[in-house]
Structure 1
């Protein structure tokens, strides 16, 4: 099971440690869901999600300051579950003494942020979803082509990396070569990035490993991108019929997200970088409502009708 330490959360989200700093690396977050313990402040703990970050905003802190001291002590102590990763207070609001004491007794860190509650919740949720999402490693090359994330797949030796190098020279950006780490950002979006050990690196047979950022500059690489299109390269076969009208688009499923996939045959004399570049532009045109295949079919139908009248 994926997990994130509270220390990582503090470092990545620019949080301030109010108390419990020595426990940051021993407390772990296992879910991207965040709890706003409003009902718990009133004493209702039947469905208390103690494994979540407990985020206290203006409403919770204001209510806590109106409670009687003994009631506040009881509630704050009960909110400290065995698997509660941390308490987080927004807007640098004043932290009740009883919460501070309960956190120390149960070794639960208390964190603060200057951000408003809604923005803080959104920022932390995005970070945790990225870190905790299920990941899958795919063999291929991921490129940013005209702002579209294009995953280039195909058998080993078909020319994926060489094509990627040509695309980089044409001004497009590399995200990952050889292995692409993919995770689901939301119900409709897959994000791809390079494993840390392969970041910015490209392998060219006969040359070896090259550092793309060092050779072509910082503008030639990206850390990650949303995947919009899959282009599968395959060796040309005379016995196979290939799509010529653009109606052979397939679907590729991963993490219950469907991505469009096209197959492009490879043979000597075909400039794969230009073809993939054109495929990306054509895909973007389709998403904007222009379909060249449909236009051809409309033109053909008009021609048939015109000839039939004669």
Structure 2
């Protein structure tokens, strides 16, 4: 199971450590934060103790209205479960009772000036991506007219050169050589880079180029949802099919099935143009339109 440290959360969100600073190595392994409301009134049947606990104005105000003994009891009941950390939002003060427990138990108590709603939205989004199952594959990732495309094929077949042509046509580059795939949901696959190769595209006979430096910030994006898997293959006689509608094929990554297309390479074929056509065709199918179906309907209408 993937995990990140509390220290990484501190660095990501510029959090202030109020207590437990010696235990920033504690690990967070579950996405999404939790606000301990029911737990403060004694209901622990479904307490997600392994999640980051966020204390907003509602929780802090409630604790401050309790007597000292009640407050210590309720805080102690939660702290004994040893969650990864507590984060107090909206820059709230008057927290000596929390600091005492967290220092004694070695649990980081952190603070942000952001509002509770905005901070939880950012925190949940970050944790979902950081803790998502992932795999790295050899290929190129591009965004063609808003549609994420994974380009695969044998080394030297022309994946990077094809990506370069797409970039010059106004599409966006995501990753070259190593594409990191992250599963964010049952049918949601995200493609991104591995940070080391960020913005770099390797072109044979030319070398490395920095896409942003050469073509501007709009030519690059950090990540994209993968919806098409396109494999560039060596041309073989008889590879092309004259069928109006090819049988659907899929490639599976991390349990997510992605529509798969093979494009055989031959001198003179506009591979980048074919990829644009495949991406636009996929989009139209999502809207319920099929060119092959419309064509067959016209034939049937003429026959009648």
Q: By the TM > 0.5 criterion, same fold?
A: yes
Q: Please say if residues 266 and 272 of structure 1, whose CA atoms lie closer than 8 Å, have aligned partners that are also in contact.
A: yes
Aligned counterpart, 1:37: 36
Aligned counterpart, 1:308: none
Aligned counterpart, 1:5: 5
Aligned counterpart, 2:164: 165
Aligned residues: 304
Aligned counterpart, 2:67: 68
Q: TM-score, normalised by structure 2?
A: 0.91
Residue 282 of structure 1 deviates from its aligned partner by: 1.9
Aligned counterpart, 2:178: 179
Alignment gaps of 5+ in structure 1: 306-310
Residue 274 of structure 1 deviates from its aligned partner by: 1.3
Q: Please say if residues 173 and 222 of structure 1, whose CA atoms lie closer than 8 Å, have aligned partners that are also in contact.
A: yes
Matches within 5 A, 1:218-297: 218-240=217-239, 242=241, 244-297=243-296
Alignment gaps of 5+ in structure 2: none
Q: TM-score, normalised by structure 1?
A: 0.89
Q: Please say if residues 248 and 262 of structure 1, whose CA atoms lie closer than 8 Å, have aligned partners that are also in contact.
A: no
SS in 1 for 2:262: strand
Residue 31 of structure 1 deviates from its aligned partner by: 0.9
SS in 2 for 1:79: helix
Once residues 267 and 288 of structure 1 are traced to their aligned partners in structure 2, the CA distance between those partners, rounded to angstroms, is 32
Q: Please say if residues 89 and 95 of structure 1, whose CA atoms lie closer than 8 Å, have aligned partners that are also in contact.
A: no
Q: Please say if residues 134 and 254 of structure 2, whose CA atoms lie closer than 8 Å, have aligned partners that are also in contact.
A: no
**CA-based RMSD:** 2.2
Matches within 5 A, 1:57-206: 57-81=56-80, 83-206=82-205
SS in 2 for 1:35: coil
Residue 186 of structure 1 deviates from its aligned partner by: 2.5
Q: Please say if residues 49 and 82 of structure 2, whose CA atoms lie closer than 8 Å, have aligned partners that are also in contact.
A: yes
Residue 241 of structure 1 deviates from its aligned partner by: 5.1
